[in-house]
Structure 1
Amino acid sequence: MVRIGYTMMTEQSGPRDLVDHVVAAERAGFDFSVTSDHYFPWLASQGHAPYAWSVLGAAAQATTRIPLMTYVTCPTTRYHPAVVAQKAATVQLLSEGRFRLGLGSGENLNEHVVGGGWPAASVRLEKLEEAVAIIRALFGGEELTRRGRHFDVRGARLWDLPDIPPPIGVAVSGDRSCALAGREADLVIAVQPAAELIEAFDRYGGTGKPRVGQLPVSYGTDHGAAVARAHDQFRWFGGGWKVNSELPGPASFAGATASVTPRDVAASIPCGDDVDAFVEAVRPYAAAGFDEIALIQVGGDQQEPFIRWAETTLLPALRDAL
């Protein structure tokens, strides 16, 4: 059975609201949750970007059942991998084993704030692979000293380790990242229902491991308002990873999406309250081989009505259909 998740979207809600939302999502019966980890929102109209790891710590204490996960953290620029390992181990302890560490090669949008320039995609993947190795070693209890191509670690050790380390997921967008995920990750992460990504992940060793997808939705009883909200806050979503990972700030995303129309957005994001349209939007992910699918409800002020509707209408429909 496909598991349906809820997204704590840090770009569109403040920290206290995010925790309240995931508590409500747990109560409503969502199977898992994921959390974005950004320094900036993609568009200024989204309006938020609290520190995801503080939110996760609070969420771990406020919930009892729902799994937590970063979707995704970049462990190579804004954060050193040794620090990511410490944060992840701590959240795993606080959540009593409910945390998974989703990792990716990052976006200029968030990582540029520490300076040093934004490397080419091939270098970003090299750095990610090295970071995963460091995190794995620290999860294993090693006292680690190493000089790598991209990272130095000197006498690092995690003093508070969970009995079961957080599973590591790697976000993929092409063959090389699928190879890394297949070899080194416990699960794969993607934001497109692309069967070729899952096939490549399996080919490189991922067979039998979880595969987690994500898509935005814009629930609302007023279809026009739901479309307008999706256009205002999520028109960047269709830009594709190769473009989105390079843009340096919200103004760049606004400029890059200036020609995207509400009709364009409505063609790719289900809007309104037609449950069949939402089911049909999720179905391609299941068909592509994803066994976990996290939904993003567009609009920070629309989380509560969406969660209520999901509990009574959407979740039962998805579980019947998938």
Structure 2
Amino acid sequence: MTEYGYFLSCEEFTPDQLLDQARRAADAGFTRLAISDHFHPWNDAQGNSPFVWSMIGALSRTVDLPVTTLVTCPTVRLHPAVTAQAAATSGVLLDGRFTLGVGTGEALNEHVHGDRWPSFDERAEMLAEAVEVMRELFTGRQVSHRGRYYTVDNARLYTVPDRPPPIYVSGFGPGAAALAGRIGDGFVTMTPDRDLVGEFHSAGGAGKPVIGGVKVCWSDDRDKAVDLVHRLWSTELLPGELAQLLPTPTHFEQACELVTPEMVGTTVTCGNDTEEHIATLRSYVEAGFDEVYVGQIGPDNEAFFDHYRSAVLPAAIG
């Protein structure tokens, strides 16, 4: 049966707001949490970007729910050995209820050291090697590694959970889905694409979890909701590889001038039509997803959580 979690957006909310949302999500019947890992928000209007590993530590003492990163890039901004230490500690704090979602990343977050931003094929190779390094370190044994992209010299994680954190790999195209099938314990993708799920399964992912996330905007005024989504999250509608290649929030703001409110209104679930929200969740179930994480755009969290508790989640769960 599909589980429904809440998506905590570090780009849009302050640490205190995120912790409050986590408590509200647990009270509303969501059974899991996902949290984004960003150095920058997508645009200045979103206005936040707390450090995900600090947030996970705080979440571990706030609610009793599993937490998954959607997603961390363990290849450029943070070395995989450092990411492994952060993930292992998170696994201990959450008593084994932590999942490390990883991906090939975006220049928006990863360029900050001034490193060259590689092509997708190279980033995929880097991710595969990073996952190998992290799995070795999760054993708690001393590790030395000399690879194409990474060196680890006599490193050992002394604080590790009883079981290594599962590593779920993100992908938005056939190549990335196949990579997830080969190296991941699960697959992360944001759209309910049955073909991508099939690609993952056929590449070695059969029987492994598939998880996704969707942003909605519950509001009694649909037009205002569309305008809010257009201002804060037009980035969701950018095509192709732009989201991976643009380096700053300013560049995203420029690109988003091409996104109209009409495009938002036909793509993002906005307003207070309960059946529309239920249908959005069910589209993931029909595509074969095991976990779906829902994030509310904007400040009207109380109405969102009230209606999801009373109507949307009960109907979606059946």
**TM class, shorter-length:** over 0.9
Deviations 1:138-160 (A, max 9, x none): 11222111111001111111001
Q: Quote how far apart the aligned CAs of 1:193 are.
A: 1.4
Matches within 5 A, 1:256-271: 256-271=255-270
Deviations 1:240-288 (A, max 9, x none): 4522111111111111110211111011111111011112222322222
Matches within 5 A, 1:156-167: 156-167=155-166
- Report the secondary structure of 1:214's partner residue: strand
Matches within 5 A, 1:30-179: 30-64=30-64, 66-179=65-178
**C-alpha separation between the residues in 1 aligned to 2:198 and 2:93?**
35
Structure 1 letter corresponding to 2:310: T
- Report the secondary structure of 2:39's partner residue: coil
In angstroms, what is the RMSD of aligned CA positions? Answer: 1.1
- Report the secondary structure of 1:62's partner residue: coil
Q: Quote how far apart the aligned CAs of 1:290 are.
A: 1.0
- The answer on whether the counterparts of 1:141 and 1:161 sit within 8 Å (CA) in structure 2 is yes
- Report the secondary structure of 2:305's partner residue: helix
Q: Quote how far apart the aligned CAs of 1:207 are.
A: 0.7
Q: Unaligned stretches of 5+ in structure 2?
A: none
**C-alpha separation between the residues in 2 aligned to 1:221 and 1:98?**
36
What's the counterpart of residue 237 of structure 1?
236
Q: Quote how far apart the aligned CAs of 1:54 are.
A: 0.4
What's the counterpart of residue 206 of structure 1?
205
- Report the secondary structure of 1:245's partner residue: helix
Relative to 1, partners in 2 of residues 1:240 and 1:164: Cα closer, same or farther, differing over 3 Å?
farther
Structure 2 letter corresponding to 1:67: P
Q: Quote how far apart the aligned CAs of 1:8 are.
A: 0.7
Structure 1 letter corresponding to 2:311: T
- Report the secondary structure of 2:132's partner residue: helix
- Report the secondary structure of 2:241's partner residue: helix
**Identity over aligned pairs, percent:** 40
**C-alpha separation between the residues in 2 aligned to 1:166 and 1:42?**
28
Deviations 1:115-162 (A, max 9, x none): 112111111101000000000001122211111100111111100111
Deviations 1:31-53 (A, max 9, x none): 21100000111111111111111
Equivalent pairs, count? 318
- The answer on whether the counterparts of 1:275 and 1:317 sit within 8 Å (CA) in structure 2 is no
What's the counterpart of residue 309 of structure 1?
307
- The answer on whether the counterparts of 2:26 and 2:63 sit within 8 Å (CA) in structure 1 is yes
Please say if 1:2 is aligned against 2:9: no
**C-alpha separation between the residues in 2 aligned to 1:241 and 1:23?**
35
- The answer on whether the counterparts of 1:21 and 1:304 sit within 8 Å (CA) in structure 2 is no
What's the counterpart of residue 182 of structure 1?
181
**C-alpha separation between the residues in 1 aligned to 2:20 and 2:279?**
29
What's the counterpart of residue 17 of structure 1?
17
TM superposition score normalised by structure 1: 0.96
- The answer on whether the counterparts of 1:173 and 1:241 sit within 8 Å (CA) in structure 2 is no
- The answer on whether the counterparts of 2:214 and 2:293 sit within 8 Å (CA) in structure 1 is yes
- Report the secondary structure of 1:57's partner residue: helix
